[in-house]
Amino acid sequence: MLRTLATQAAPENRLLRALTGEERSRLYPSMQRTVLALDQVLYESGERPDHVYFPTAAVVSCLYTMQDGAMAEIALVGNDGVVGIALILGGETVPHRAVVQIAGDALKIPAKVLQKEFARAGLLQHVLLLYTQALITQISQTAVCNRLHTIEQRLCRWLLLCQDRVNCSEILMTQENIANMLGSRREGVT
């Protein structure tokens, strides 16, 4: 379900909320509110998507897939971020798979529109660069956690990350999805 985004005082996405009213007014006409479904694949690794997503009530996993099909989550994006940042920073393709882990709303915008606003070197550029630094930190922490922590510790970390990104204390997940996010076998999370 797509709806064009009308004027909105304060968007539910923290990055968009940090922008000036002028920047939001330039972006809003090109934004659409969309519902992201559970397990919906937004991007596959190596694709050149046309749109970038600002989750408002959804949570999206960025997954790295090995040649043998094994996968592990490298980042989790909710209302604190944007899915597809590589396209804005000059990347030709996305380096990972993006899959919806918690269904909900997002704001969708053509990548070219966001690239144009980013090039203006205003607050949007600053906010997205700060977000990129936070994303690098999250990916680094995930790598260390996956190497040094037990499955239980990794699950606790993952649940806290999810809870930070949604306003709900209950998260519905299958054991298989949790195992994929933790880079573990399904039997390891029973």
All structural domains of the chain with their residue ranges: 2-182
pLDDT computed for residue 77 by the predictor:
96
pLDDT computed for residue 116 by the predictor:
95
Q: For the domain bounded by 2-182, which CATH number is listed?
A: 2.60.120.10
The pairs formed by 42-45 with CB atoms below 8 angstroms and a separation of 24 or more are: 42/83, 42/84, 42/98, 42/99, 42/100, 43/83, 43/84, 43/94, 43/96, 43/97, 43/98, 44/94, 44/97, 45/93, 45/94, 45/95, 45/96, 45/97
pLDDT computed for residue 9 by the predictor:
41
How distant is the alpha carbon of residue 62 from its chain centre? 7
Look at residue 60 and give its three-state secondary structure. Answer: strand
Q: CA triplet 131, 136, 141: central angle to 5 degrees?
A: 125
pLDDT tens for the chain, 190 residues long, are 333 343 444 458 999 999 999 999 999 999 999 999 999 999 999 999 999 999 999 999 999 888 888 888 889 999 999 999 999 998 889 989 999 998 999 999 999 999 999 999 999 999 999 999 999 998 888 888 878 878 887 777 777 777 777 766 666 667 776 676 666 666 666 6
